[in-house]
Amino acid sequence: MSDKRLVYMDNQATTRVDPRVVEAMLPWFSEKYGNAASRNHAFGWEAEKAVEAARRTLAEGIGAGPRELIFTSGSTEANNLAILGAARMYRERGRHLVTCATEHKAVLDPMLALQARGWEVTVLGVDADGMIDLDELRAALRDDTVLVSIMHGNNEVGTIHPVAEIGAICHERGVLYHCDATQTVGKEDLDVERDGIDLLSFSAHKIYGPKGVGALYVRRRRPRVRLEPIVYGGGHERGFRSGTLNVPGIVGFARALELCLEDRAGEQARIAALRDRLQERLLGELDYVHLNGHPERRLACNLNLSFEFVEGESLLMGLDGVAVSSGSACTSASLEPSHVLRAMGRGDDLAHSSIRFSLGRFNTEEEVDYVAERTIAAVRRLREMSPLYEMALEGIDLNKVEWNRH
């Protein structure tokens, strides 16, 4: 096999747009190009009709009604609208918010922005598998708590949180529950009504749809959730989010979710089998490899491993042509160790040596075997240059070594 081959295994960062999705979108660029808000002519009516059909499809896919779905530019905007919008709308009721240490930065950063403006934020810790403690969540809720924001599936380590239990705890106390379900909509079993979710963010580009379009579910009854907008001008999307709608993107978003739900169980089983094949090869042929994330309650696509005595960035360079990520893809410009792995108690050395392989619809068994071979060869080559690996093989406990600092 030639090392020049390109293999994509970074599906949690983004996915290839399914050709069937592209096909559904194409007419809306050049033949049917009306603005969905132009209500004076057939071009606009046609676009509006397509948007509303897509809204119904997407809403049904999460167990919601079509009037509960607000289109956004993606999950980052949806998370910001949910958190900032709810906090500002209910600030007279209370200024306390609860989240989790392993959330995406698109949740943690709006929380920090509110904290700087006088809100109080409780950040729950996680165990070594990345799971929150439900008793800690119960204890964190106060009379002035207005919102809890805890994701469904983690973008780095794949751990899946028990959203129905979280929803029930929040509703017992009359607290709104926002769930970032970017990694799970279309893949995991999720129903906003059954699971007691009041606000839910998701995005097209994680489910083989286009980039630049997402949605926020906003519950309309029991309880009716109100948000203060973060974007003004024109009153689109019932005043929640102004701006011309991305009609081709919305059409593609709905088609992408339709395709995911057609054979969700079968597709997720196939992807999980590929992931397990890769995991077995790497753990079977390399020592000092650690699985990050919950061993069972995790996304089918996710395999996050720490390769001790190997720098993650060096390993990425050794895997040229193979698209994987070290730490979080969204913050990879920073060489800070992953905040998710740190929250799980991994030391900086293990956090720096982590690689996330994320598989998807278009990956094959042959690609899995190729990536396994490349990874094993690269890790072995890098470890040959590591005196620490040699010491570990000799049985020396590196934690007890007193290093000479001079």
CA–CA dist 107, 127 (Å, integer): 20
**Whole-angstrom distance, CA of residue 306 vs CA of residue 326:** 10
Q: How many angstroms separate the CA atoms of 203 and 185, rounded? A: 8
Same domain, 217 and 278: no
* Within a domain: 405: no
Residue 195's nearest CA partner among 182, 212, 218, 177 is 177
Note whether 282 and 375 are same-domain residues: yes
Same-domain pairing of 333 and 375: yes
Judge if 325 and 393 occupy the same domain.
yes
Q: Is residue 369 part of a domain?
A: yes
Kindly list the strands in the beta sheet with 176-180, ordered across the sheet, starting from the edge strand earlier in the chain. Answer: 69-72, 214-218, 199-203, 176-180, 145-149, 96-100, 120-124
* Whether 256 and 302 share a structural domain: no
Tell me whether residue 90 is in a domain: yes
CA distance 105 to 309: 28
Which residues partner with 121 through β-bridges? 97
Q: Residue 291: CB partners within 8 Å, gap ≥ 6?
A: 279, 283, 303, 304, 305
- 283 and 177 fall within a common domain: no
CATH number at residue 92: 3.40.640.10
For the chain, the three-class secondary structure string (H helix, E strand, C coil) is CCCCCCEECECCCCCCCCHHHHHHHCHHHHCCCCCCCCCCCHHHHHHHHHHHHHHHHHHHHCCCCHHHEEEECCHHHHHHHHHHHHHHHCCCCCCEEEEECCCCHHHHHHHHHHHHCCCEEEEECCCCCCCCCHHHHHHHCCCCEEEEECCCECCCCCEECCHHHHHHHHHHCCCEEEEECCCCCCCCCCCCCCCCCCEEEEECCCCCCCCCCEEEEECCCCCCCCCCCCCCCCCCHHHCCCCCCCHHHHHHHHHHHHHHHHCHHHHHHHHHHHHHHHHHHHHHHCCCEEEECCCCCECCCEEEEEECCCCHHHHHHHCCCEECECCCHHHCCCCCCCHHHHHCCCCHHHHHCEEEEECCCCCCHHHHHHHHHHHHHHHHHHHHCCHHHHHHHCCCCHHHCCCCCC
Same domain (yes/no): 229, 268 = no
Max CA pair span of the chain: 79
Q: Identify whether residues 367 and 257 lie together within a single domain.
A: no
Instruction: Using the predicted structure, report yes or no on whether residue 336 has a pLDDT greater than 80.
Output: no
**Does residue 353 fall inside a structural domain?**
yes
Tell me the average pLDDT across 262-283: 98
Q: Please give the average per-residue pLDDT across 207-211, as a whole number.
A: 98
Write the pLDDT tens digit of every residue in 211-246.
Answer: 999 999 999 999 999 999 999 998 899 989 999 999
Is there a single domain that holds both residue 213 and residue 339? no
Tell me the pLDDT tens digit for each residue of 42-73: 999 999 999 999 999 999 999 999 999 999 99
Q: What is the pLDDT of residues 374-389, one digit of tens each?
A: 999 999 999 998 888 8
Q: Which pTM was predicted?
A: 0.94
In a domain, 2, yes or no: no
Give me the number of domains the chain comprises.
2
Residue 326's pLDDT is: 87
1 in any annotated domain: no
Where among 236, 262, 288 does a domain terminate? 262
Domain termination residue (choose one: 212, 247, 262): 262
Place of tokens 């698209």: 323
The answer on 301 and 230 residing in a single domain is no
| Boundary residue ending a domain (262, 296, 325) | 262
Query: Are 235 and 309 part of one and the same domain?
Result: no
CB atoms within 10 A of CB 184: 23
pLDDT for residue 293 = 97
Residue 332, pLDDT score: 47
Euclidean distance between CA atoms 86 and 72, whole angstroms: 16
Percentage of the chain with pLDDT > 70? 95
Distance CA 70, CA 128 (A): 36
* 2-11, 18-27, 241-250, range with the lowest pLDDT: 2-11
- Hey, which residues are catalytic here? 330
- CATH number of the domain enclosing 274: 3.90.1150.10
Q: Which domain holds residue 160?
A: 19-262
In this structure, the answer to whether residues 237 and 333 fall within a common structural domain is no
